[in-house]
Chains A and B, each alone.
Chain A
Amino acid sequence: MQDESIVELYWSRNESAIEQTEKKYGHYLTKIAYNILSDYDDSLESVNDTYYKAWNSIPPHRPTVLSTYLGRITRQISIDIFRKRNRQKRQAAMYAVSLSELEECISTGSTPEDDIELQLLGASINNFLKTLSPEARNTFVGRYYFMDSILEISHYYGMSESKVKTLLHRTRLALKKHLIKEGFLV
Chain B
Amino acid sequence: MRKEQIIDALNYLEDEIIEETDAIRQKKAVSSHKKSHFALVAASFSLILLGGYAISSQNFYGNDNSSSEILSESESLLDKEETSENTSISNEKATLSIDDGNTFILTADTIFCGTISEISPTSTNTESISPAREFTTIDVQIQEVYLGKLQPKNTVSLQEGISSDIAVGTSGIFIICDDKHFSFLETNNGLLFDQKFSSIFSASDSLNDVESYIQELLKNQEN
A interface residues with partner B (beta carbon < 8 Å): 26-27, 30, 34, 38-41, 44, 65, 67-68, 71-72, 75-76, 79, 83, 117-119, 121-123, 125-126, 129-130, 134, 137-138, 141-142, 144-146, 148-149, 151-152, 155-158, 179, 184-185
Contacts and interface: CB of A to CB of B under 8 A. Distances in A.
Contact of A26 (B20, B115, B117, B144): B144
A42 B68 CA distance: 32
A27 B143 contact: yes
B21 A44 contact: no
Given A118-B5, A126-B17, A156-B25, A149 B188 contact: yes
18 contacts: A26-B143, A40-B143, A44-B153, A65-B15, A65-B19, A76-B11, A118-B11, A121-B6, A123-B12, A125-B9, A134-B20, A138-B24, A141-B13, A141-B20, A146-B25, A152-B206, A155-B205, A156-B24
Contacts of B179: none
Interface of B: 1, 4-15, 17-22, 24-25, 27-29, 113, 115, 117, 141, 143-144, 153, 169, 171, 188-190, 204-206, 211
Taking chain A's interface residues, is the majority helix, strand, or loop, or is none over half, making it mixed? helix
Nearest to B191: A155
Nearest to A157: B24
Contacts, number: 114
A79 B24 CA distance: 23
B77 to A, nearest CB: 21
A155 B141 CA distance: 25
Task: Give the 7 A-B CB pairs with smallest separation, nearest first.
Answer: A122-B12, A156-B28, A121-B9, A141-B21, A122-B9, A138-B21, A40-B115
Contact of A142 (B21, B27, B190): B21
B17 A129 contact: yes
Given A126-B17, A149-B188, 10 more contacts: A27-B143, A34-B169, A71-B18, A122-B9, A126-B14, A129-B17, A138-B24, A142-B21, A145-B18, A151-B189
Given A144-B7, A155-B206, A179-B1, A122 B13 contact: yes
A137 B10 contact: no
A69 B96 CA distance: 38
A95 B195 CA distance: 52
Nearest to B15: A68
B7 A79 contact: yes
Contacts of B1: 121, 179, 184-185
A129 to B, nearest CB: 6
Nearest to A80: B8
Contacts of A137: 17, 20-21
B111 to A, nearest CB: 14
Contacts of A134: 20
A117 B28 CA distance: 35
A130 B18 CA distance: 12
Nearest to B168: A38
A17 B28 CA distance: 28
Contacts of A40: 115, 117, 141, 143, 169
B144 A27 contact: yes
B113 A27 contact: yes
A19 to B, nearest CB: 13
B171 A34 contact: yes
Contacts of A158: 28
A40 B142 CA distance: 10
A125 B117 CA distance: 37
